Amino acid sequence: MNEYGLLIDGVWRPAEGGRTLDVVNPATGVRQATAAHASADDLDDALAAAESGGRAWRSMTAWERSAVLRRASVLLAERADEVARRITQEQGKPLREAASEVAQAVEQLDWCADEARRIYGRVVDSSSASTRYRVQHEPIGPVAAFTPWNFPISLAARKIAPALAAGCSIIIKPAEEAPGATIAMAECLMEAGLPAGALGVVTGDPAQISEHLITSPVIRKVSLTGSAPVGRRLIELSAVNIAAVSMELGGHAPVLVFADADPERAARLCVQGKFRNSGQVCVSPTRFYVHESIAEAFTAEFVRLTAGLRSGDGLNDDTDIGPLANERRRQAVHAVVEDARARGAKILEGGEIVDGPGYFYRPAVIVDVPDDARVLREEPFGPIAPIGTFVEFEEAIAKANSTDFGLAAYVITNDLITATRASEQIEAGIVGVNTLAASHTPVPFGGVKQSGIGSENGLESVQAYLVTKTVITELTPL
């Protein structure tokens, strides 16, 4: 059994007083590991280390920082199988999905190793022959970052790698449910030559940790991937010291399937995307709007494929869909399904808690869902697929834009005009056309409306951890 400590000032250590939290395998309900429960004194030590370590890290050249990130990506790639297995045991997703996630983290470190050397300033011409303008970018300062359990290493990498590339120190709090992969990546970074204090890892009580770190004057930037309510709270805390924020706060992604699409092929694409990680994905398709002319065929194939999904331990080769992360999530998902049922929706498949060990839930396919049902208003974050219909293009766009979220959306059509018009009119930070793969390292990932503030990935990833300085030099002697 793994025993995870706190990374503070370059040293892995137990929490003050030896307090720990249990890390449980969601497929079995059996304790998989323990994680340290940080105290206020531990957090103060982490802040002090981030302050001193940040000064050392930012003083290194961009090429030196790049070399550390590159070496860490190589080390993580070498340990990919071990880390993927740890993800499956702590989070529950099938092993092949966990392996893909580790590959994303490796790519993120490698990408940011390049971006560390591409932080460019500029010289601006002045109207005066004796005046010079120079614009340069500098690290914003120590960062506090918070990541959830659904992608325990890739989401951490999307914060750690660009922050370090920019020259910032960072304290990260991974989710207590699945901290092992983030810890494995931190070990790679330390072995790659990261200075003590440039990276801290703390686990414990989320509310205590967030309030203690964010309200410290040491922290100059806050980055969260989480729910909208948590995001609002962290923004409030950030206001104490006017710390900058990046917030990825989830979504409620519509899928518009137009009449020219092949309904069976579209259904296969949608089932594959919907039930990845048991639907516990912020860009997961959560509302399917299908043109009425193909809705019957689409729905029949969707139900058939969903019924054939094999649930089980993610370590088994034949598992298609793993458990939900914990019992709280399973009960929350079931409550959303039951709300739809109570409002008159029809459950065509699944929608049931699976008896036995682990937190398994039969994926639900729902039709005739009224607009006021929770599943169409709240992010369901689970294996629930409501299917509705539309007739006119404008109706489809109105339904797609009918929530307060705007992270990802998807369009399935073979018509270039339809694809172009829909992608332009949908209110979302990411639009996939004939693909449900929404996150790629080279392009920005972020939402609009209540889905958040700022972007990760792409050029924007490192820019989020920089501040701009203007230097004005007058050459006239004094």
Selection from 77, 62, 162, 200 nearest residue 442 by Cα: 162
Q: Which two tokens stand for residue 291?
A: 């043109």
Structure tokens at 282: 């912020």
Q: Residue 171: beta bridge partners? A: 144, 200
Closest of 338, 464, 448, 358 to residue 403, by C-alpha: 448
**Residue 398 — φ and ψ, nearest 5°?**
-60, -40
Task: Please give the DSSP secondary-structure letter assigned to residue 178.
Answer: S
Residue 225 neighbours by CB distance under 10 Å: 25
Can 168 be counted among the known catalytic residues?
Answer: no
Task: Tell me the pairing of strands 408-412 and 253-257.
Answer: parallel
- Residues 115, 177, 187, 248: which is the catalytic one? 248
Terminal-to-terminal C-alpha distance of the chain: 70
* Burial letters 152-187, b for 16+ CB under 10 A, else e: bbbbbbbbbbbbbbbbbbbbbbbbbbbbbbbbbbbb
Residue type, 32: Q
430-433 and 285-291 strand pairing? unpaired
Residues 6+ positions from 38 with CB-CB distance below 8 Å: 6, 15, 16, 46, 202, 203, 204, 209
Q: How far is CA 433 from CA 79, 102, 289, 419, 457, in A?
A: 34, 26, 14, 7, 19
**Measured distance CA(451)–CA(429) in Å, rounded:** 9
Is 270 part of the annotated catalytic residue set? no
CA nearest neighbour of 438 among 263, 227, 255, 287: 255
Task: Name the active-site residue from 112, 168, 270, 282.
Answer: 282
* Residue 113 and residue 164 in contact, taking contact as beta carbons nearer than 8 Å: no
Q: In sequence order, what are the beta bridge partners of 353?
A: 361
Tokens for 43, please give them.
């957090």
Of 21, 3, 2, 24, give the one whose Cα is nearest residue 330: 24
CA angle 16, 86, 173 (to 5 degrees): 40
Q: Would you please indicate which residues are annotated as catalytic (active-site) residues?
A: 248, 282
